[in-house]
Chains A and B, each alone.
Chain A
């Protein structure tokens, strides 16, 4: 299972378990620290008619009560499109949109001040559903389209044609650490910002613009986040901006930590989708044509909605070759908090659609869905170009399918499930396999870059700085391993520093699963530079020292430089292994010889490019593959289900750290299971979030995981041209959970002996399940009645 040598624990594990790991809320600050509080709109859509902050400002202990008028710079927090004011000026566009800010000595004083704020709103008609947005033509921007082949003709010619609609729900990130930021004023206009953000450079930029100061006056530091999952890619900026504004106004350190309910109410979620399909196929189940229409609820501002829609459109094929395919994506503007990045970034919504279609085709043709999936996989040599023109290289689908079907004993278990279902009325089992093919790279191609700064100190210790952030995914651990391996030194010599915008500038967000790919390469680049300098210096030193014993292979110093190796905490000459010095002993010598012992590294992903307008090109550097088989037991009468067993085989290339990668696969799968089953988000008809705390919003608990959980990494599949032949892992495994979703559907459908297509949506809550079964029962009864009459 990967290289066991790489299986070191998370670099912070010992700190996590002892409670010593420091998160933003744990940083000790002097007694000047003020508590910051946001005051948000209670209306989904309203005009602010007037407000009066004077009474609030009089509350003892209160240092500042701010409105948009107090913003010295640009009142904006939009990451791509500038459509998100930091503080609302005229019109609020969702419940939870922030209008005022308060800083006081205590939380109670903040609450007291909040009660004294007078604000008059004139309520306007809100748009709270995709349907209403469509009715009102409330588009966020022009539709996106990708098309290959002749879709219209193929639809007419297809032997079988199905049409339908699928709804997939929103999902709350539910990072354990809610949004938080601490700002400390420096001298002059300087500001030091601790933020739980995936994108420190953007946080820095937005704060500078908000305050009207230079980016060189703002430092953003991120030691670690208590979970992020995309929820802190753009929306951590908000809390940081509000905190910075209060800090600027009061000249005190200020901290804002969103209360859990406020976090859930205010922040965006995974986009809910309303998707429509028309799909043509033949008797064998080969896909001929698909016409997909994706509609997402963007919420009230653009955020990353278009990039997310795009990724959904780029994953609507999942692992399948569809010769004629058209997909149109529309982002709709509604009066809900702006929806945002979430692990998978549109991929899950796209894949859920085609996986559900294939499941339906199998039922219609009375075949096992596994068979239909297998038949339609992208080929190794032919049928291997996606609808957007990228060739699926290093295709692992068949390899994974074969191994997993065998190791999970799929066929045998399929029969056992059918038998169980024939014998049980009130319990049904379901089984499903689903594949994942996920493209790795930011689809906004220029973002695929990273920087690093590696410092070597005179005691032989190494401090690595890079632009990526640690949110639990183990990035810093992998970087530490990469740096140690590249330098040939033991792990204990290498430390990865907190991410800091003053050290590595202009970084991309740690997102798109690309953290280790990009930053790992940038770190390697810096270390290569340092090793070059060190080798050159030792070539000199050893040439001087051993001038009387010339090197066997001639070529002078230049070739010597190339034969100098870094291994086992030593630097030595490959051709003369006795010419050797310990790494720690070498560094002071280099310092004496005035060799610079720090280097900046950089990396940009080569050979990718993507024309968004044409919907054509090579957006992805490579694909990550995986497959899962899930078996569930369904209580037909209550809709409650248990995952009996899950088998996963996932491709991470040569794993940088098998323990961490397996943790990502397991965690991603379970997070996906939550999205597919119990995580339901509800709003009332005024746009108030009803599921605003863990009391009503249910992420998986320990008892929801598979009773038998078998996760393996695909062996012997190095990924060419990436850092240490590894592959990205973070996002792709989330979509393995679609096997759980479709296993539930399989079990539901068994109630009617797989004769009817069950009504189904995502999440498949017990409510969805019970009502779907109820409808199936009615259909069975109707059919029986008809048959009776016919007789």
Chain B
């Protein structure tokens, strides 16, 4: 067990011993750490909640194939120990030693991609991540890479242009040239679990599932974090001092994704961005929902385990998991338990998970090909927004085009993600036609009594929830 962390910054290994640096806590974010250094003021804070991307940095990590993967993340959401064993790249690191701008920087200058410049370092890092991951990206890929960055000045057009022009690899950039050296440096950092104990906090970062389960048993009150995209806000926005933390982000078992003919098993700690390509074919509705989940920076951190355990009434994956009949596997020292997602969630942000358990796996049984599943998210802004309401619907028809099975799972309509059971009951056995749908729509009012809040009024939610039903019908009608 180690009590200090090491990562690469500015081309060399930087170590932080939390015992010796009282101004730095294990829950200090990368952003606050960087801004405390005189040489890293380029990384900006715009919101401290993952919504603006001004703080974007790129983290390089050794993959299983021994290559370095580069990912953009919001540094305002990442606790320092999560960097252990990784390569932190900030906007200051992109110029070559001879002070030439990186292609993404140079092109941003040429396209007038900056006006006030405050959002620019964040955009540069998202562009850099795009550059490292895509050659000649499509407009969709560019949009997706930039959704997590807000700019109030430019109107984005020149930034999109910069992305299209610069992410064309005709030569290796400095980072590729230096990869062997970086790899050696990364390999030189011992991969061990961390135990950081300061007078105020205990931060545990187990390196295996077994260890994690034992630790959770020993510290049942410890807060689990995986991507920290929910938990970090308690620190950055509520100024909470988290006393005991178990950080699951280094548990490789939780990141595994395995597929068989019958099902897909997704580790609770797998990043949403890693899940997306895997579910594209077998579970397209989940893919669609993940495509509008946060931003790339968020999906590079966030996990299904985190979304499930938060059990928010507007957790985006929950209606989808319910519609797909997904199951949750929990593990603790006393063994494993398994629940359908629908039963796992018990109320407003409550679940069946016991204090000493960890969510390990989400199991998605494959469909037999005769049902349709569609997911919808209604939010004020189409991207990087929390749903006002959402729905994921599943339909199976019999030979006479009557409804044989239907699941209507809604988010944002009640204190928890919930099915519209009365509406479902009504539709069962009915023909799948406009008349039946229109007769079913009013029943939504007997299934839900939504509230008015900052994201939308009750009336809007009621009307939109009914409309989603009509939308589902219009998109499945005729295809049966």
Contacts and interface: CB of A to CB of B under 8 A. Distances in A.
Given A637-B468, A701-B150, A17 B155 contact: no
B154 interface: yes
A682 B380 CA distance: 13
Interface stretch (B45-53, B265-273, B347-355): B45-53
Nearest to B461: A767
Given A637-B467, A663-B112, A693-B51, A699 B91 contact: no
Among B46, B105, B457: residue with most chain A CB under 10 A:
B46
B120 interface: yes
A22 to B, nearest CB: 7
Residue in A17, A23, A703 with the greatest tally of chain B CB atoms within 10 Å: A17
B20 interface: no
Chain A's interface size range is 35 or more
Given A705-B157, A770-B460, A175 B152 contact: yes
A10 B114 contact: yes
Contacts of B94: 18
A224 B471 contact: no
A705 B146 CA distance: 12
Interface in B98-140: 101, 105-106, 108-110, 112-121, 124
Interface in A613-640: 636-640
B274 interface: no
Contact of B112 (A659, A668, A670, A709): A659
A606 interface: no
B179 interface: no
A668 B115 CA distance: 12
Nearest to A637: B467
B152 A701 contact: no
B116 A771 contact: no
A259 B47 CA distance: 8
Contacts of A389: none
Contacts of B471: 426, 637-638
B115 A638 contact: no
Given A18-B105, A703-B383, A176 B116 contact: yes
B470 interface: yes
Main secondary structure of the interface of B (DSSP, over half): loop
A178 B49 CA distance: 14
Interface centre among B95, B116, B239 (most CB of A within 10 A): B116
A667 B376 CA distance: 30
B211 interface: no
Given A9-B109, A19-B121, A701-B383, A638 B378 contact: yes
A154 interface: no
Contact of A639 (B45, B118, B454, B464): B464
User: Dominant SS at the A interface?
Assistant: loop
A184 interface: no
Interface stretch (A158-166, A225-233, A248-256, A583-591): A225-233
A558 interface: no
Contact of A12 (B117, B156, B381, B455): B117
B186 interface: no
B10 interface: no
Contacts of A23: 44, 118
Interface string B43-70: 1111111011010000000000000000
Given A13-B108, A426-B474, A637-B471, A680 B147 contact: no
Given A176-B54, A224-B117, 4 more contacts: A227-B152, A260-B46, A472-B153, A637-B470
21 contacts: A10-B114, A14-B109, A16-B114, A17-B101, A18-B92, A18-B94, A18-B101, A19-B41, A20-B92, A175-B152, A176-B151, A177-B44, A639-B464, A663-B158, A666-B158, A667-B152, A695-B51, A696-B386, A698-B385, A700-B155, A771-B463
Interface of B: 23, 35, 38, 41-49, 51-52, 54, 90-92, 94-95, 101, 105-106, 108-110, 112-121, 124, 143, 146-147, 149-160, 237, 239, 376, 378, 380-386, 388, 454-457, 459-460, 463-464, 467-468, 470-471, 474
Interface of A: 9-10, 12-23, 25-26, 28, 106, 108, 111, 173-178, 224-229, 259-261, 426, 471-474, 636-640, 642, 659-660, 662-663, 666-671, 678, 680, 682, 690-691, 693-696, 698-705, 709, 711, 765-767, 770-771, 774
